Amino acid sequence: MGPKYVKFKNGSVRYQVGTIRKWIEEQTVSHTTQRKPPNHK
C-alpha cells in the first residue's frame, strides 16, 4: 500500500502530495532509525 492507493481513493492532488511526502518521510525514518536516533527534527 503506497501513495498510488491513496491517489485513487481520494483524488485530491493536494492531499496526494501531502500523503506522498508523509509516506517518503516514513520510509526515510524506518531506514534511518536502524543506524542513528531520529533527532534531525
Determine the pLDDT at residue 9: 57
Query: Over 80: is that where the pLDDT of 10 sits?
Result: no
In angstroms, the Cα distances linking 34 to 10, 19, 25, 27, 39 are: 32, 23, 15, 12, 13
Determine the pLDDT at residue 41: 58
Q: Which residue has the higher pLDDT, 11 or 17?
A: 17
Q: What is the pLDDT of residues 17-31, one digit of tens each?
A: 777 888 888 888 776
**DSSP class of 36:** S
In angstroms, the Cα distances linking 38 to 4, 14, 21, 31, 32 are: 27, 27, 17, 10, 7
